Structure 1
Amino acid sequence: MPTVLLLAAFLLVPLPARSASTPTALPTPPVSKALTNPIRPVIRRGTIRINLETLATGLTAPVWGITAPGAPGRLFVVDQPGTLWAVDVVTGAKSVFLDVSLRLVTLGIFGPGSFDERGFLGVAFAPDYQTSGLLYTYTSEPVNGAADFSTIPPAETADHQSVVAEWHVPNPSDSASVVDPGSRRELVRIDKPQFNHNAGALTFGPDGRLYISLGDGGGADDSDGETFISGEPLGGPIVTSGHGLNGNGQNTGVVLGKILRIDPLGSNSANGKYGIPADNPFVGQAGFLGEIFAYGLRNPFRFSFDTLTGAIYAGDVGQNEIEEVDVITSGGNYGWRYKEGRFFFGSNGALAGYVSKVNPGVPAGLIDPVAEYDHSEGLAVIGGFVYRGTRIPRLVGHYVLGDFARTFAADGRLFYLRGRELVQGTRIRGSSIAEFRILNQTALNLALLGFGQDASGEVYVLGNGGGVPFGTTGVILRIAPQS
């Protein structure tokens, strides 16, 4: 999500491995050609009309909702402060399925009540959940020993560590059975340089592999030396570090700025706690980690598989100007920080970065988004799901997404892509993103934090009244047909 807020199947021939020679600085467009809000026309309301039905209230900051295999009657909702809720999709009754709050870093970077991008961010149930009882979580935890992956300079300390862990439910077929709190098995621990750009989505693909999204490590510009938050109450400025000469997104020797693909039951990883599938695109290539499925991403906060086609859609949150939707493919390089959306990006040293139409000489083969919009429309794209329900026939096959907020108020927006059944290479410009017509209220009137999808393919809207991981204004709304 944005720097100051809370904020993958089609195959592609893998890109050639880059040499492990001494890196040189990335090319950058001239600052004199910097652009502001460069995308026209604006996003307009489309022809699809919906109502929003309240399913559940009293949450804090819900960011992700899915069903478990074999349990179609419940939506499992990740609440950022640490609760995994089991929500009845008919009555809306909710109960605690797992509580990881005591494992998390203290939330609120300016203190209680303030924004944060860390927390409990993702969950995925194993495809064989009904027999194995296994599920996986992504959490932001205090630094606790050596990480499996780190970009932190020797004299510095990570802000926190992102952790993927496995848990067990003793009797998955019993709706009263919950996660055994003593069953936790840690798969991987990753140092994060700054508090933001955590991404944090976990999803099993139709291939049975676990896909994990990781942001570029935070700060701004994916570049060392950028002051991105200054002054009290943090005790002074936060200056970006842990990104190296050319940032983490383009560094194929680190996990940050990537989507990873692993076998959680394997053991051929460096730490022996998970497996690296032999058919991953960069296995055995010099200069690449075998876990990498796709790279060149800034903050792919949410991504999902189309349950019909297997296509992977990701909302990658931009920085200065552009929010983008990508169709993620095996081995794909999505450009950050060479590009922001389809525009070229300049990191601008210690000053704020910018976008430009001037190509400074970036490499060929970068994959542009299938849809994008600029910051005249919103602050941070929130990726959702391809609608595969039955209640709104006109919406079937369309990707549902939104934006956290248009301003810094609780004014999130709900969008859909006009095009159906997107395939790699399809190009959809900003004019083909449409805003839903919400009939039973004048606007969303929430900070949009995430989406959910149930076993029937229906889509849910997740948000709260303030955009921060505090309070009890969090709600789950179901996208419903017009009356």
Structure 2
Amino acid sequence: MDRRSRTSPVFLMSLAVFAVVVLSSCSREGNSATGKGAPGFPASLTFTPVAKGFTDPTAIVSARDGSNRLFVVEQGGRVKIVRDGVVSATPFLDISGLVTRTGSEQGLLDLEFPPDFARRRVFFVNYTDKTGIGNTSIDRFSVSADPDRADPASRTQLLHITQPYRNHNGGELAFGPDGFLYIGTGDGGKGGDPHRNGQRRDTLLGKILRIDVSSGTKSYAIPKGNPFRNEIWGYGLRNPWRFSFDRTTGDLYIADVGQDEVEEVDFQPAGAGAGANYGWNRMEGSSCFKKEKCDKSGLVLPVAEYRHGRGDCSVTGGYVYRGTAASLKGIYLYGDFCSGRIWGLRRDGSTWRTQLLADTKFSISTFGEDEAGEVYVADYGSGTVYRVGAP
């Protein structure tokens, strides 16, 4: 997570503007943002305010337990519940005493509930703690007798990853269709990955990790099928700021923040991706990093990318829409933190097409998904969460 142009929050990462596909110009009007539209894409998006008053929101999460609650993560260390548009007065979780934010990309970065949460009543968080320069901690907590309150005394640390710098912490947590917990880590920070953590397989930095947290008697296990017999599932990432699995197909979409020129979206079909190398820092997007020529053999190249300019700076990954808006179904939504632009991405056979769908004034820090497959977006600046739709 770099922070280069505007006062950014966490993770923000680099400067960016579009390249992979033709973009339509958009204007914003009230609660909708309209573009020219293209075959297979809606002509505009709508943004319905759901809740406001959050401080530096970094994640929007559903427990998928039938309660229809949304959990909004605040970078400072609190998690608040939204139920029917009302924000809980008491936080679901408050670990602000454990969290460090000496760097703008540090803090409480994500929360995730396991598929069997209704039975196990445990959940997981990813944050930078008060050790060292602000190291990454992956913890498990239990819910108290009150379903709207976590039990702070139940904390168990699963993973602790030393960070060499205060940026590029990654932060994503997501359960895959295989039931395992996937974790996104950045390359450790500074510019250009000076320690080459992205390409090294003796460090957990610059990776997608996969661990088995199904046992309640130990912290985690290494799943069979992990390619290097450790936690690493995929590597060659700079700072994956949000990845997600399509709830219908199980496909994986990864938004990886670029350095000075390119933001990218990577893709893995369901059941694939073990040992995948996404290229950083040999590549930045589909271009050689700081070199005219480089070896691209064996690399997974992005299915979408955009180049810096026009106010873009840092990609924020979203979700494949599976809600009720027919014109959005099957479209992967992603945006840019600095410009507020939102794109849609869809695959037609072997071809990927992306289209600019909205030009907002939001500082897009995260997207979220509820139990019904509706997608939400957070404006980091105003602390407002919106439900995304289409006319």
Fold match by TM threshold 0.5 = yes
Compared with structure 1, are the counterparts of its residues 402 and 37 closer, same or farther at alpha carbon in structure 2 (3 Å cutoff)?
A: closer
Partner of 2:316: 382
Give the distance between the partners of 1:124 and 1:421, measured in 2 at CA. Answer: 31
Partner of 1:201: 172
Give the distance between the partners of 2:351 and 2:150, measured in 1 at CA. Answer: 43
Partner of 1:62: 57
Q: 1:92-130, CA deviations, whole angstroms, 9 ceiling, x for partnerless residues?
A: 43341101111111x254xxxxxx000000111121111
Give the root-mean-square deviation of aligned CA atoms.
2.2
What amino acid does structure 2 have at the position aligned with 1:381?
V
Give the distance between the partners of 2:67 and 2:18, measured in 1 at CA. Answer: 44
Pick from 36, 43, 50: which aligns with 2:23? Answer: 43
Give the distance between the partners of 1:83 and 1:210, measured in 2 at CA. Answer: 22
Partner of 2:333: 400
Pick from 409, 414, 433: which aligns with 2:354? Answer: 433
- Mapped pair 1:159 → 2:137: no
Give the distance between the partners of 1:40 and 1:180, measured in 2 at CA. Answer: 46
Structure 1: runs of 5+ lacking an equivalent: 8-35, 110-115, 144-157, 224-242, 284-289, 347-355, 407-411, 438-442, 466-472
- Mapped pair 1:475 → 2:391: no
Q: Using the TM superposition, give the Cα deviation of residue 71 of structure 1 relative to its aligned residue in structure 2, in angstroms.
A: 3.2
Question: Counterparts of 1:282-361 in structure 2 under 5 Å?
Answer: 282-283=228-229, 290-328=230-268, 329-346=273-290, 358-360=292-294
Partner of 1:191: 162
Q: Using the TM superposition, give the Cα deviation of residue 464 of structure 1 relative to its aligned residue in structure 2, in angstroms.
A: 2.5
Question: Counterparts of 1:427-466 in structure 2 under 5 Å?
Answer: 428=352, 432-437=353-358, 443-465=359-381
Give the distance between the partners of 1:77 and 1:38, measured in 2 at CA. Answer: 30
Compared with structure 1, are the counterparts of its residues 387 and 317 closer, same or farther at alpha carbon in structure 2 (3 Å cutoff)?
A: same
Compared with structure 1, are the counterparts of its residues 93 and 403 closer, same or farther at alpha carbon in structure 2 (3 Å cutoff)?
A: same
Q: 1:49-95, CA deviations, whole angstroms, 9 ceiling, x for partnerless residues?
A: 2221110110011121121131341111111111111111x334334
- Mapped pair 1:169 → 2:169: no
Pick from 109, 115, 133: which aligns with 1:127? Answer: 115
CA contact (8 A) 2:64 2:370 kept: no
- Mapped pair 1:277 → 2:223: yes
Give the distance between the partners of 1:190 and 1:201, measured in 2 at CA. Answer: 14
CA contact (8 A) 1:266 1:276 kept: no
Question: Counterparts of 1:76-115 in structure 2 under 5 Å?
Answer: 76-88=71-83, 90-95=84-89, 96-105=91-100, 107-109=101-103
Compared with structure 1, are the counterparts of its residues 258 and 427 closer, same or farther at alpha carbon in structure 2 (3 Å cutoff)?
A: farther
Give the distance between the partners of 1:258 and 1:405, measured in 2 at CA. Answer: 25
CA contact (8 A) 1:72 1:454 kept: no
Give the distance between the partners of 1:363 and 1:344, measured in 2 at CA. Answer: 8
Compared with structure 1, are the counterparts of its residues 56 and 38 closer, same or farther at alpha carbon in structure 2 (3 Å cutoff)?
A: closer
CA contact (8 A) 2:21 2:354 kept: no
TM-score by length of 2: 0.87
Give the distance between the partners of 2:203 and 2:174, measured in 1 at CA. Answer: 21
What amino acid does structure 1 have at the position aligned with 2:370?
D
Give the distance between the partners of 2:360 and 2:307, measured in 1 at CA. Answer: 20
Give the distance between the partners of 1:363 and 1:51, measured in 2 at CA. Answer: 40
Query: SS of the counterpart of 2:309?
Result: coil
Q: Using the TM superposition, give the Cα deviation of residue 273 of structure 1 relative to its aligned residue in structure 2, in angstroms.
A: 3.1
What amino acid does structure 1 have at the position aligned with 2:334?
L
What amino acid does structure 1 have at the position aligned with 2:372?
S
Equivalences, count: 362
Query: SS of the counterpart of 2:318?
Result: strand
Of structures 1 and 2, the larger Rg is shown by 1
Structure 2: runs of 5+ lacking an equivalent: 25-34
What amino acid does structure 2 have at the position aligned with 1:62?
P
Give the distance between the partners of 2:282 and 2:351, measured in 1 at CA. Answer: 19
Compared with structure 1, are the counterparts of its residues 197 and 373 closer, same or farther at alpha carbon in structure 2 (3 Å cutoff)?
A: same
Q: Using the TM superposition, give the Cα deviation of residue 386 of structure 1 relative to its aligned residue in structure 2, in angstroms.
A: 0.3
Give the distance between the partners of 1:427 and 1:450, measured in 2 at CA. Answer: 27
Give the distance between the partners of 1:402 and 1:192, measured in 2 at CA. Answer: 27
Give the distance between the partners of 1:451 and 1:38, measured in 2 at CA. Answer: 20
CA contact (8 A) 2:191 2:259 kept: yes
What amino acid does structure 1 have at the position aligned with 2:284?
E
What amino acid does structure 2 have at the position aligned with 1:257?
G
Give the distance between the partners of 1:169 and 1:421, measured in 2 at CA. Answer: 43
Give the distance between the partners of 1:193 and 1:445, measured in 2 at CA. Answer: 34
Q: 1:214-260, CA deviations, whole angstroms, 9 ceiling, x for partnerless residues?
A: 0000000001xxxxxxxxxxxxxxxxxxx2xxx00000111000000
- Mapped pair 1:366 → 2:299: yes
CA contact (8 A) 2:175 2:181 kept: yes
CA contact (8 A) 2:80 2:87 kept: no
CA contact (8 A) 1:63 1:463 kept: no
Give the distance between the partners of 1:38 and 1:433, measured in 2 at CA. Answer: 10
Q: 1:256-297, CA deviations, whole angstroms, 9 ceiling, x for partnerless residues?
A: 0000000124599xxx732101121222xxxxxx11111000
Compared with structure 1, are the counterparts of its residues 267 and 183 closer, same or farther at alpha carbon in structure 2 (3 Å cutoff)?
A: closer
Give the distance between the partners of 1:321 and 1:427, measured in 2 at CA. Answer: 24
Query: SS of the counterpart of 1:188?
Result: strand
Give the distance between the partners of 2:321 and 2:47, measured in 1 at CA. Answer: 15
TM-score by length of 1: 0.71
Partner of 2:191: 220
Compared with structure 1, are the counterparts of its residues 318 and 41 closer, same or farther at alpha carbon in structure 2 (3 Å cutoff)?
A: same
Partner of 1:256: 205
CA contact (8 A) 2:319 2:367 kept: yes
Compared with structure 1, are the counterparts of its residues 291 and 310 closer, same or farther at alpha carbon in structure 2 (3 Å cutoff)?
A: same
